[in-house]
Chains A and B, each alone.
Chain A
Amino acid sequence: MRLAVASGKGGTGKTTVAVSMALSLEAAEPLYIDCDVEEPNAALFLRPTLAERREVGQYIPEVNADLCVHCGRCAEVCRFHAIAVIGQDVLVFPELCHGCGSCTRNCPTGAISEILHVMGALERGPAGPITFAQGILNVGEAMAVPVIRQLKRWAGTDDEGTAPTGLSEGGSRDGSDGGGDVRGSSVGPGRPGSRPGRAGGRPGRAGGRPVILDAPPGTSCPVVETLRGADAVLLVTEPTPFGLHDLRIAVQVARDELELPVAVIINRDGVGDAEVEAFCAAEDIPILLRIPLRRDIAEGIAAGQALVEIDPAYRSRFVEVYHAMEALAQHPVSRAALLTTEPGAPKGGLL
């Protein structure tokens, strides 16, 4: 199962949960993908040996001045104002370019070719039995999505089959590679017509090697790119007005827009108020785990320890949360059945 760990609000404990989930599932040799490429933090806790590193980016236009007739067609077709023709000059603005290739295809004289604009790096390697991969957006680069898209493909999850199925290496840039590429041996080309997202109600994959997707905060395009192709989403929140406000919009993205099964983990339980619980009850969203606000946990995480290292009793709880998410992914329509116990009461050993 591909399990995404997300939240609207930052700092609620996404990485805390995702890291401890991966450590608790060590026996199944999980794949961990840190998709928060703006601020990747999971490596601080999992301490992987990052044996492989590749620069990653997207293709931007390069104009051959000998062939250019300054007709302005490239600027006309570019929806992002990333290329401009001023007199006898053509200006390219890499930070605005989405790498769609429209200018290249529509240039009547074939004056445009595409060169790689490096935006960040992909890294991977083992952390014990866990296979770890992360993307790192270069400071000053604006667009996280191309890095996330290529990270997921490189790490081997962007498949319709049970992930991971080995790495799709050696593909060539053929214009259908998702608007980007990595330097060195390139990532596999995208398959036109395939759709990583899936409609709600259709059973997701429950079995297979666990894949943990650690999402960035927020609700816009980087989060959607992370969640596409996931089988279920764990939303981590805190029981405060900020936590609730941002949980609501995270539910809108994951459950309502992407039609993925969702469940909630409440972190720092005991602070704030009871409004998150009321929201989850009203929306039929199961609360699978509560992590109390405890000074020893906060201090341990501050020092770079994982929750299951601070308190090993959480290992079995995370395994149970994973199984509960598998059940949700397989039977999304019956999620209300998980709520037959009193909200907050122990169910199958869960908190």
Chain B
Amino acid sequence: MKQLVVLSGKGGTGKTTVAAALAHLAAATQRLVIADADVDAANLGLVLAPTLQAVHAFDSGEVAVVDPAACTGCGECAAVCRFEAFTSTGGIYTVDPLACEGCAACFYACPAGAIRMVLQRAGEWYEAQTRFGPLYHAHLFAGQENSGKLVTLVKQQARLRGFDDEADLLLVDGPPGIGCPAIAALAGADAALIVTEPTVAGAHDMARVVGLAEHFRVPTAVLINKADLNPAQTEALTAFCIERDIPLAGRIPFDPTVTEAMVRGQPITESGGPVTEALHTAWADLQAILSAGL
């Protein structure tokens, strides 16, 4: 089973639109498992019309809780806390759960034994079925930590399903950025497809995510979305890829039918047009890249 992860660095370049299209195109010839690794804001389900099959809790990370009856107000907890999570009101300390990182420094420091560490329900993960294959996705509750851990969990479950189903491809729709969730999405991938756009921000962010993929030694291809928006930037992106020896998986024109397909809740490739043609070409190139192992 090959693993292909779609990343972008910059948000909103079209990762999910491309991932949904690739799911549609891949499912024609391959057995597929799909994972949405954007656990902050999972959108792939909005275009793949999944049927939910199971919901699982994601318990991760702890927060400190002060027993007000036992707190002596000595302030040792606040003194050791490096995350400014403690507030004193009327001689009793309380914890801001959003600031608490769960390090338990206060738990070990409290001379009165007034602090306990409580496991958090940080999110949920889901098993679903789409017409292109099983979809694993998740929702990290608002403001929670450990999104990287949840990404790893979603991918691990999708992989296990892929082994059970003898799948050919695990397709991962990644998160924006280059931090812990992006690193978790990239881990173990056979190839990364970086969707970028010909804007100064798109180019800047693509270079950073290309650096990330190189850092973790994952072979990379680049797809330029909205390529006709700024031909000069598209040429600059192309030159960057040639210089770095990164294969270009294609150029997709800017086309309002992409948004229309999203509103209908369908992969863009289910309707015709120039975007669909470009994505067919991109998928053919990607298959060659995946089978060659780059």
**Which residues on A are within 8 Å of B, measured CB to CB?**
8-12, 15, 36, 38-39, 41, 44-45, 77, 79-80, 98-102, 105-106, 137, 139-144, 175-180, 190-197, 216-224, 228, 240-242, 245-246, 249, 252-253, 256-258, 271-273, 298-299, 301-304
Contacts and interface: CB of A to CB of B under 8 A. Distances in A.
Contacts of A242: 16, 43, 46, 262
B12 A224 contact: no
Contacts of B148: 142
A38 B177 contact: yes
B273 interface: no
B250 interface: no
B41 A8 contact: yes
B263 A11 contact: no
B259 interface: yes
Contacts of B167: none
Given A10-B176, A39-B10, A220-B140, A101 B41 contact: no
B103 A240 contact: no
Contact of A299 (B98, B176, B181, B230): B230
Contacts, number: 229
Contact of A219 (B140, B183, B254): B140
Contacts of A196: 84
Chain B interface size, as a band, is 35 or more
Nearest first, the 5 A-B pairs at minimum CB distance are A10-B11, A11-B12, A100-B103, A218-B40, A179-B82
A177 to B, nearest CB: 7
B176 A241 contact: no
Contact of A273 (B82, B179, B229, B263): B263
Contact of A106 (B9, B108, B197): B108
Contacts of A36: 177
A105 B101 contact: no
Contact of B199 (A79, A195, A302): A302
B133 to A, nearest CB: 21
Contacts of B145: 220-221
A15 to B, nearest CB: 7
A267 B204 CA distance: 22
B256 interface: yes
Contact of B87 (A180, A195, A249, A301): A195
Contacts of A11: 10-13, 176
B109 to A, nearest CB: 7
Interface in B16-43: 16, 39-41, 43
A192 B78 contact: yes
Contact of B40 (A178, A193, A228, A249): A249
Which of B41, B43, B105, B183 has most chain A Cβ within 10 Å?
A: B41
B21 to A, nearest CB: 14
B99 A249 contact: no
A137 B211 CA distance: 12
